[in-house]
Amino acid sequence: MTAVATTARRSIPGAPSMWFFVIGDLIIFGCYFVAYMYYRGQDHTLFLHSQARLNLDIGAINTIVLITSSLFVALGTAAARAGTVTDAVRLFGIGLGFGAAFPLLKLFEYVPEIVGGVTPGTNLFFMFYFVMTGMHLCHVLLGLVVISFVIRNLRTAPTPNISLAETGATYWHMVDLLWLVLFALLYLMR
């Protein structure tokens, strides 16, 4: 990711190409959400019944986990901007820790479901569920990698790359935002 020059009047934080990606990703997921709503409207009862078999608790915990993680990432970014690099590293680290809990919890969610016979092929709702949450999970894993790179850069580089931190944070917040919508749509909406 390109390092944007830290002039006093920077218009947007982080690399512009990341914002292209974020907005585009949101639009793409948006299309998926609309498709989901459409198909849900077609077969409301099926979706309702299937939804009842989801593990709402883990879903809720995951939501809190991601929001907390995002909070720490935001704090870390602010610290990086302020120049207090050790603080930044610590804050990003905590954010990473919370973030890493997400896939772990997901495992506890998926495995019992699949072992219990609920697979993507079970019905349309579960296909949507597995595909969308699976896609999101990939985003989370990618985000964890990105944040790790940010931490490494903050710790080892002679002058920390603020733009990298901002870019990574932008991506991570997008991942969080996506999950909020996913959670509401798949788990909560009646």
Partner 1 sequence: MKSKKRDQWIAFWMVPAFFNVFGLVFVPLSWMMPPRSPNAPEPQMISFMQSHNLLIACALLTLVYGFAPVGNSIYLIQIKRMSVSPVFRYTLMVGSITGAIVGMLFPMFCFGLGAFRSGYRPSILLMLYDFGYLAFIGSLGCFCIMWMAFALAIILDQNNVLPKWLGYYTLWQYVTELMAAPVWISKSGPFAWNGLMTFWFAMALYVPWQIIVYVCIYRSIKNQPDDELESAWLHQTSPATDVRPKATA
DSSP string covering the chain, please? -PPPP--S--SSSS-HHHHHHHHHHHHHHHHHHHHHHHHHHHTHHHHHHHHTTS-HHHHHHHHHHHHHHHHHHHHHHHHHHHT-HHHHHHHHHHHHHHHHHHHHHHHHHHHHHHHTT--TTS-HHHHHHHHHHHHHHHHHHHHHHHHHHHHHHHHHSSS--HHHHHHHHHHHHHHHHHHHHHIIIIII--
12 binds partner 1 (CB under 8 A): no
**What mask of x and - would describe binding to partner 1 in positions 95 to 134, judged by CB under 8 A?**
-------------------------xx--x--x---x---
Q: Which is nearer to partner 1, 68 or 148 (CB)?
A: 148
In the complex, minimum distance from the CB of residue 82 to partner 1, in angstroms, rounded to a whole number: 27
Q: Which is nearer to partner 1, 31 or 67 (CB)?
A: 31
Amino acid letter for position 177: L
**What mask of x and - would describe binding to partner 1 in positions 32 to 71, judged by CB under 8 A?**
x--x---x--------------------------------
Q: Which is nearer to partner 1, 15 or 58 (CB)?
A: 15
181 binds partner 1 (CB under 8 A): no
For partner 1, the binding residues (CB under 8 A) are 1-2, 15-18, 20-21, 24-25, 28, 31-32, 35, 39, 120-121, 124, 127, 131, 135, 138
